[in-house]
Every structure is written in C-alpha cells, then in structure tokens.
Amino acid sequence: MTDFLAFSDTDSFRHKHAVTEPLLSIVDLKAFFKIKDTVLKALDNVSININHHEVVALVGETGCGKSVLVLSILGLLPKNACTEGSIRYLGKEILGIDEEELRGLRGKAIGMIPQNPATSLNPLMKIGIQVMEIIRLHKKCNKSAAKHETINLFSRLRLPDPTTSICCYPHQLSGGMRQRVLISMGIACNPGLILVDEPTKGLDAVLRKRVVDLLKEQVSSSTSSMLLITHDFSVAAALADRVAVMYAGEIVETGPVSQILNHSRHPYTKSLLNSLPGRGFNSIPGFSPSLTNLPPGCKFQPRCKTSSSRCAAHHPDMEEILTNHFVRCFHAHRS
Ligand SMILES: Nc1ncnc2c1ncn2[C@@H]1O[C@H](COP(=O)(O)OP(=O)(O)OP(=O)(O)O)[C@@H](O)[C@H]1O
Ligand code: NI
C-alpha cells in the first residue's frame, strides 16, 4: 500500500514527473483464458500509451478484447485469466499487484465507468450512498462532506433535483439517469485516468449527446486522461485525441483521431469506417477469427480484399508510417 501513496496525490506526483513519461504505459500485454483444454487469446501483445490529459478511443468489433483490456488495467479479470506483460501507471508496475494495492488505485487514481448501467449499481442501496462510499473511502472525509460532494456531482451531471435524487434506488431512475450516476462514481475522486466502457451503448440520440457532452466537460475541466471504449466513431470523433483500432486481440492501427477517420491505412479500419451508415453501410464480409484458433500471419488476412501471400504466411509488426500513426499491415504504404 505504501508504494501507492503517490497515487493518493496524483496531481503533485504527476507534476514532479512532468510530461516525460506517459500516464499509463502498456507493453506487450497478453491475456489468456483457459477453458478446459483450449486457450483463448483475448489480448495478444497489446502495447499502448496514454499520455497526460489525453483521450484515447479504443474501437473494434464485438469480442476483440476491449473490455478485457480495461479489466486487466484494474486487476478485475476473472480467476481463469492469465496475464503477461507490463502495465505501468505513472511509472509504477500495476500488473499483478495485490488486492490491497489495487483497492488503493481503483476509483482514486483510475476511475471506471462500466459498460452496463443496469447491472453495475447495487439495486438495494440508495444511489447517493453508493457515490458517497467511494468519496469517503478515498478522500477520508466525513459523511456530510461526502454528501455535499455527491450533491455537487449530481448537479454538475444535471441529474434532476440532486438533493432528493440521492435518496433514490437504482430502479427508480431511467437508463440515462443511471448512466449519469455511474459517470459520477467514475469521476468522483477526480482520477488521473478514467476508463469508460461503451458509455453510449443503448442510449437514444438525445441521451447519447448528453453523455458525450458530460464526458467532454469532465476532460476539459480536469486534468484527467481517458481510455474510451466505443463502437461509435462519432463518439470517438467528438472526444478522442487519438484512436486505437483493435482486431482479434491486437491493436492494428493507432493515430491522431483525424488521421484515423480521414486517412486510415489499415484495411480493417477502412472497412469499419465503410460500414458506418454515413459512409455506405458496407458490412465487412466474413467473421472475426476464433480467438482459440487464430490464423497464421495477419489475423485480418482471411477477410482482407488487398492481401497477398506474404500476409497469409507472416504476421506484420506495427510500423510508424507517419508521425504518431502506426499500422500493422504489410501494404500500408500502397494505400
Ligand atoms: N471470463 C471469460 N472467460 C472466457 N473468455 C472470456 C471471458 N471474458 C471475455 N472472454 C472472451 O474474450 C474475448 C474478448 O472479450 P471482450 O469482452 O473484451 O470483448 P469486447 O471487445 O469488449 O466486446 P464487446 O464490444 O461485445 O463488449 C471474447 O472472445 C470473449 O468471449
Ligand atoms: Ni466490451
């Protein structure tokens, strides 16, 4: 626990370390699930940095490993998972640290806004109490100060009538309100890094815009960085500085948001963008490979229209084709 005292004062620690090192640095992260006699490779050598005050969007089809990446950062993977590699937060290794140290990290240094508002709140507890508990745990403040902060947070997130809504139970709230309660829990302690899993999933257009605006406000009014998982490129476009595209457990392209949206070089990213309603609605033929039986060579090759024999035999490395724009494709230069 002592090792992580630095996390309890993230801003001053961050100041000392200036911007010389990333806030979060993930290097060659692997995550496997053992299922009977087979091994499912959910993450395969994932490397990604998140810099200070930066929003990185992680996009990719269902099952490609986005949530597993977020859960591995917080040490929340189930027991049948094995991990290898390195995850450093402000220079300290956090992969494989013990539960007590993780508790000191979660919520305070790294906040999480989980994927499912319907199952992520305790149905038997008033929502105000659930938020106050996080504040009291990490800020070591008394009940009335935590209550005051919770009301402030709720009004910042425009939950109607914050002083009465803190006494509501989750079932008394609409889906959009529950989503805002989860956002308030994720940002309650002003963490250095906020992990946000599909914040707009299942919301209508109006609520989607409201949630995006709230997250935008949080990023601009604090020093937080964000790892944002989304299927929705418009959410990435509205919030992210950088986009990382995942396919079958690995990152295949990363770059500044405008570069990825307008000048992507990986055939998978291009196909994803072409499958958007505004860009032709062309679904990607074929399916993602089974993570228990991955093809040799490039994992996208079986679905790729521009592949060559080299792609089927060899696995491409990430290559920087323009400043800060990395692509895992032998043919990135030709497009
Ligand atoms: N507890 C588990 N045991 C076994 N396999 C798992 C477990 N959790 C996830 N997986 C597998 O790991 C892979 C990645 O799952 P993950 O939930 O990270 O996908 P995702 O990219 O978040 O998808 P979605 O967009 O649907 O949320 C999937 O093949 C999934 O079936
Ligand atoms: Ni997920």
DSSP assignment string, 92-129: EE-TT--HHHHHHHBTTTEEEE-S-HHHHS-TTS-HHH
pLDDT for position 12: 45
Task: Name which of 185, 196, 12, 3 is nearest 88 in CA terms.
Answer: 3
Q: Is residue 295 lining ligand 1, measured as CB closer than 6 Å? A: no
User: Whose CA is closest to atom 18 on ligand 1?
Assistant: 65
- Note the pLDDT of residue 310: 96
Q: What is the DSSP letter of 64?
A: S
Q: Locate the domains of the chain by residue range.
A: 24-109+189-327, 117-188
Low-confidence ranges of the chain (pLDDT < 70): 1-19, 334-335
Cβ neighbours around 87 below 10 Å, total: 23
What are the residues whose beta carbons fall under 8 Å from the beta carbon of 238, sequence distance 6 or more? 212, 216
CB 182 within 8 A of CB 120: yes
Predicted confidence at residue 2, as pLDDT, reads 33
pLDDT, position 13: 44
* Prediction pTM value: 0.91
Which CATH architecture is the domain 24-109+189-327 placed in?
Answer: 3-Layer(aba) Sandwich (3.40)
Q: pLDDT at position 200, please? A: 86
Residues 173, 181: contact at Cβ < 8 Å? yes
Q: In what order do the strands lie in the sheet with 193-197?
A: 110-113, 193-197, 225-229, 55-59, 242-247, 250-256, 325-327, 319-322
Residue in 36, 38, 59, 64 to alter for ligand 1 test, most ligand atoms within 8 A of Cβ = 64
Q: State yes or no: ipTM above 0.95.
A: yes
Distance 334 CA to ligand 1 centre (A): 33
**Cα 42 to middle of ligand 1, angstroms:** 7
Task: Single out the residue of 316, 231, 308 nearest to residue 276, CA to CA.
Answer: 231
